[in-house]
Amino acid sequence: MKASRIVRTLAIWIVAASLAGCGAQTAQTGQNEGAQPPGQGQTQPEPAKEPQAVSGGELKIAYQAQPPTLDPHVTTSQASATIGRNVFETLVTSDSKYHVQPMLAESWEQSEDGTTITFRLRQGVRFHNGKEMTADDVAASMNRWIQISSAGKDHFTGAVFEVKDAQTAVLTLKQPTATAMAILAYGGGNYPAIMPKELIDQADPKGVKEYVGTGPFQFKEWKQDQQIHLTKYADYQARSEAADGLAGKREARVDDIYFIFTPDSSTQVAGLLSGEFDIAADVSYDSVQQLESNPEIKVDVAPTGMLNLYFNKKKGLFANEKARQAIAAGIDAESILIAAYTQEKYYELNHNMMMYYQIGQWSSENGRESYNQNNPEKAKQLLGEAGYKGEEVVIMTSRDYEDMYNGAVAFQQQLKNLGVKSKLEVYDWPTFTELRNDESKFDILVITNTPKPEPSSLAFMRKDFPGWTDSPELDELLVKFRGAPNLEKAMSVYDDIQKWFYEYVPVVKIGDGNSISSSQKSVEGMTWLDGLILWNVSNAK
């Protein structure tokens, strides 16, 4: 695979995380895997620049999807993460090589047996309400995250954060976890944000009542279906290290950020060309040539996620494993990827569960022969064995994400060629994220999953995530994987998980996609890591 030649060194991030289990460790500075290297023929968002004289003004960002909430503990939404992490921060974070780096923690130390991690907190960090952050806030936030977030429940069952003193919080694990620090450092959907204890105490299952964090920007206003407005936090306490991925110095170099919800791609492009928008977060692939021809516009490409077909395994045809195997056998993955991403440079064929830039670390030959089979006759045979009698299959997706919608349209045509009747239902993103929780609403979801730092964090592993994977074999494998004493042991289990993936077929992986962001020439310093990074960004307009 062409991407594998490019990315062999990118796996180093998780090695750094696993080293945390070897006695005392103090966080180091380095490069973050966030500005993840694109594939061949792709451009890279410009590296972060040190602050210059230009400051103030605003950024108006055309953003394709409105998040369901900004509380990251209760949602896996990438829109929530990209917007919310300007407001909320985490104990540790990732540099551009995915090395674990300090953020709200000054340092950490792990016991020799790997079951306790002691975090020493930075002093003088204040929440946006003026209150100084202490270990009470950290313990309340992290215990809530462990209890209600998918990542917390999956990886930290039985773990607890306790207060040692005002500046020290201690995480006690039920068992050593080789990937614990990498998960705590993740900056995508469901990230472990720190909030004031009093807001955590008042939160209900839908989320906190106020959005108050320690980040360089503070929440100002949310006009539903219109925009979210963030403002510069004047008392923000930045780290002193050089900016690198999500790590190091964060500075609000504009006074206001407006995320303007603009699902229509033509409106995004028109607004960018007219100067109404400073940034378009995810522009249409068909618009790239037009944007690149304008000398006042910059275009960047970065990995966005894995395009997957999620099966409803609770109810209906695809509760039958052979029906899922039939779809895996029958589809032409590359044709769907062409429909979703328009050109080869915007996607990668990749049989691994993890994304193409991660296969230097997470690579397995298992499943290669089962990926992109494009064998309609085999599919029809398996559908017959599964008892398919011509009933209508409901496909659900969102038009707020171009790759998901276009991929769903192409997939529906392939189902027709397999003799499967289907109905495509399309919703805005908030409605889609609500309806996908109801097993009576769909048979197959077409969805793009954001990258995760390690394979057991992937959403389709979970019993409580739409699709509802329930596999005793997987349960045993995940216990072995998460309880592995070191990375080498965890990698050997990954090979078995990859084998399970192609036999059980919790989802069908179509391939890996890249997204395109675009900005005015006046915008300087914008980078990407698990979403756009907007601190340290200035606008000279």
CATH at residue 396: 3.10.105.10
Query: Sign of torsion, CA 146 140 452 17?
Result: negative
Q: Which residue has the tokens 């539903």?
A: 224
Q: Do the domain assignments include residue 417? A: yes
Arithmetic mean of pLDDT over the chain = 88
Cα 231 to chain centroid distance, Å, stands at 24
Residue 305 pairs in a beta bridge with 513
Nearest-Å Rg of the Cα atoms of the chain is: 22
In this predicted structure, the answer to whether residue 32 has a pLDDT above a threshold of 80 is: no
Mean pLDDT of 337-363: 91
Mean pLDDT of 176-188: 88
Question: So what's the pLDDT on residue 202?
Answer: 97
In this predicted structure, the answer to whether residue 275 has a pLDDT above a threshold of 90 is: yes
SS3 call for 144 = helix
The Cα–Cα gap between 182 and 101 comes to 10
Question: So what's the pLDDT on residue 531?
Answer: 86
Angle between helical axes of 321-330 and 376-385 (0-180°, round to 10): 170
Report strand pairing: 279-280 vs 92-94.
Answer: unpaired
- Largest separation between any pair of C-alpha atoms in the chain: 68
Query: Sign of torsion, CA 240 241 247 249?
Result: positive
Task: Kindly report, residue by residue over 201-221, the tens digit of the pLDDT.
Answer: 999 999 999 999 999 999 999
Q: Which residue has the tokens 């060309």?
A: 273
In this predicted structure, the answer to whether residue 405 has a pLDDT above a threshold of 60 is: yes
Question: So what's the pLDDT on residue 35?
Answer: 31
Angle between helical axes of 402-417 and 333-341 (0-180°, round to 10): 150
What percent of the chain has pLDDT above 70? 90
Give the pLDDT band of residue 21 (cuts 50, 70, 90). Answer: very low
Q: Is 173 exposed, middle or buried (0-12, 13-18, 19+ CB in 10 A)?
A: buried
CB 537 within 8 A of CB 334: no
In this predicted structure, the answer to whether residue 261 has a pLDDT above a threshold of 50 is: yes
Q: Do the domain assignments include residue 268? A: no
Which range, 261-275, 359-373, 374-388, is most confident? 374-388
Task: Kindly report, residue by residue over 516-527, the tens digit of the pLDDT.
Answer: 999 999 999 999
| 3-state helix, strand and coil shares in percent for the chain, rounded to the nearest 5 | 35, 25, 45
Question: So what's the pLDDT on residue 519?
Answer: 96
pTM passes above 0.85: no
In this predicted structure, the answer to whether residue 396 has a pLDDT above a threshold of 90 is: yes
Q: Do the domain assignments include residue 159? A: no
If one compares 76 and 496, the residue with the highest pLDDT of the two is 496
Q: Do the domain assignments include residue 375? A: yes
Give the pLDDT band of residue 541 (cuts 50, 70, 90). Answer: confident
Question: So what's the pLDDT on residue 54?
Answer: 59
Mean pLDDT of 48-66: 76
Q: Do the domain assignments include residue 293? A: no
Q: Do the domain assignments include residue 541? A: no
SS3 call for 400 = coil
Question: So what's the pLDDT on residue 76?
Answer: 86
Residue 426 pairs in a beta bridge with 397
Token pair, residue 383, equals 């559908």
Q: How many residues does the chain have?
A: 541
Question: So what's the pLDDT on residue 12?
Answer: 36
If one compares 497 and 357, the residue with the highest pLDDT of the two is 497
Q: How many domains does the chain have?
A: 1
CA nearest 215: which of 129, 98, 107, 97?
129
CA nearest 394: which of 421, 374, 414?
421
Question: So what's the pLDDT on residue 178?
Answer: 78
Q: What are phi and psi of 276, to 5 degrees?
A: -65, -40
Give the pLDDT band of residue 40 (cuts 50, 70, 90). Answer: very low
Question: So what's the pLDDT on residue 10?
Answer: 36
Task: Kindly report, residue by residue over 278-333, the tens digit of the pLDDT.
Answer: 999 988 888 998 999 999 999 998 888 999 999 999 999 999 999 999 999 999 99
In this predicted structure, the answer to whether residue 477 has a pLDDT above a threshold of 90 is: yes
Q: Do the domain assignments include residue 340? A: yes
Query: Sign of torsion, CA 76 38 311 446?
Result: positive
Q: Which of 28-32, 445-449, 512-516 has the lowest mean pLDDT?
A: 28-32
**Domain enclosing residue 400, as ranges:** 303-515
Q: Do the domain assignments include residue 42? A: no
